[in-house]
Amino acid sequence: MSRSFRAASRRLAILMLLASCGWSATAAAQVEVGAGMSFTRDNEDTPVAAVAWLPEWREFHGGTLRWEVGAMHVRGRSDSAYDNDDDVTLLHGGLRYERPSGMVGGFGIGVQSGWTEALSGDPQFISTFGWRWGRFSLLARHISNASLHQPNDGETMLQGAWRF
């Protein structure tokens, strides 16, 4: 794990810790921290870290609709055959839908810091699909700019997440 990825992960954790100091126990219980692997063209992989605040908004068609406000950090690939060597941090907001069965789906929009061929300009759209078992979730996520800027390789990731 590179030093820049560890430093960015640490900054995200400290930011969430400081932000949660003034929150109630209920608000802190809606924080989710995740990590996993992200893949782009030619299956080039890299670690990814994520943190999100997921306050409940309302019941919707037998499930729960939540706001999602968060950040993701995608580490650059130093051995990439493409221009994917910069770290990218994405700040995003959107909605997440959770069914009692465990199914999870979501969509959001974000802005980025850093540039790669995979993540090449604002805005970035984040789609999420996965499953949740209690506090643990397994999420498949995709980030792309929907061809608003070229190149538009996007990042597809698999993340394990823990909700506090």
**All domains in the chain, ordered by first residue:** 3-163 (2.40.160.20)
Measured in residues, the chain has a length of 164
Kind and range of the H or E run holding 11 = helix 3-20
The Cα 74–Cα 76 span in angstroms is 6
| The two three-digit tokens of residue 73, written as one number | 């950090």
Answer whether 76's CB lies under 8 Å from 102's CB: no
Confidence (pLDDT) at 24: 60
Three-state SS at 78:
coil
118 or 81, which is more confident? 118
| Cβ neighbours, 10 Å, residue 81 | 10
Residue 157 pLDDT grade (very low, low, confident, very high; cuts 50, 70, 90):
very high
pLDDT mean over 133-157:
93
pLDDT mean over 7-14:
61
Confidence (pLDDT) at 15: 59
| The two three-digit tokens of residue 1, written as one number | 């794990």
**What are the pLDDT digits (tens) for 47-77?**
999 999 999 999 999 999 999 999 999 999 8
Torsional sign, CA 90, 158, 50, 94? positive
Q: Is the pLDDT of residue 93 over 80?
A: yes
Nearest partner of 112 among 68, 155, 163, judged by Cα: 155
143 or 117, which is more confident? 143
Confidence (pLDDT) at 22: 57
The C-alpha angle 129, 117, 157, rounded to 5 degrees, equals 20
φ/ψ (deg, to 5) at 140: -100, 125
pLDDT mean over 23-35:
77
Residue 81 pLDDT grade (very low, low, confident, very high; cuts 50, 70, 90):
confident
The Cα 115–Cα 111 span in angstroms is 11
Confidence (pLDDT) at 139: 98
Q: Letter for the amino acid at 12?
A: L
What is the value of pTM for the model shown? 0.81
Q: Letter for the amino acid at 42?
A: D
- To the nearest whole percent, how much of the chain has pLDDT over 90? 63
| The two three-digit tokens of residue 51, written as one number | 């943190």
